[in-house]
Amino acid sequence: MISVRGTSEAAGTGSANGGRTYASGGAGATLSSLIGYANSEPYLPVYQEAISYPAVILPATGPTLGYISSVQTGITNLVGEINSVAGACPYTNIILAGYSQGADVIDESVGLTHSSLETVPALSSAALDHITSVLLFGDPRYRPGEAWDAAGDGIGGGILEAPTGQFVNNVHLTYLPPNYDTLEPSTYVQSYCFTGDEFCQSNFTPAGATIHGSYGASTVIGNAWVFFMNWVTDN
């Protein structure tokens, strides 16, 4: 299970896997709830690691250290880690989980969307074959009506999928499960976006911020784990 935390959530400590992941922690509060389900599985051993990246919105010291640079670092480290795990562990299944900015990192890395502002290294065909499930929460690139949207999701679009602004050059890439080309993308991708969410529904109000931060304590975390388990135990 490779986790990518949301904006401003606490980073992990130490460095592992060539600096692509933290040695400890770094999944963030929201995805820690999902990890709790993984740890409670008595018959399914799950190894967890979190991608090391800035997870910031505003520039730290200059214009190149803001959101776009942060996402780029996340994409580079995530794609590198997926390729590395697939090569080193040929019989493992990979589950990707991302919240907020972390969902954007995964979204672009696996090809659900892509902004021309970031460069995405290629995932090997072997790596794609190892991805068993993709779980996204509060994705700022959320688009209503996609096959991977969860039931009950909001009907609006995310802040980075707005019709105007600097992100208008997004290219929508169809993503089908490898070797199962007759199946819909929803087979192992699931995106959760609450109605009124600040970022995945572009609702910039105090209520929107509260909603955006509520995934970890909601029932969708359990639903997401069941979604993953249904896939991995059937295959």
Q: What integer pLDDT is reported at residue 216 of this predicted model?
A: 94
Q: Which token pair is 214?
A: 């509520």
Distance CA 148, CA 21 (A): 27
Q: What integer pLDDT is reported at residue 183 of this predicted model?
A: 44
Answer whether 145's CB lies under 8 Å from 185's CB. Answer: no
Q: Cα 179 to the chain's mean position, in Å? A: 22
Residues contacting 169, CB < 8 A, separation 6+: 115, 116, 117
Distance CA 228, CA 6 (A): 20
**Dihedral angle sign, alpha carbons of residues 132, 136, 139, 144:** positive
Residues of the chain with pLDDT under 50: 162-186
* Sheet bearing 131-137, strands edge to edge: 49-50, 2-4, 94-99, 131-137, 189-192
Answer whether 188's CB lies under 8 Å from 135's CB. Answer: no
Q: Which of 95, 93, 81, 29 is nearest to 51 (CA)?
A: 81
| Domain boundaries, given as residue ranges, for the chain | 2-234
Q: What integer pLDDT is reported at residue 60 of this predicted model?
A: 56
pLDDT, tens digit, for every residue of 26-77? 999 999 999 999 999 888 889 999 999 999 987 555 555 688 889 999 999 9
What topology does CATH give the domain 2-234? Rossmann fold (3.40.50)
Distance CA 159, CA 166 (A): 11
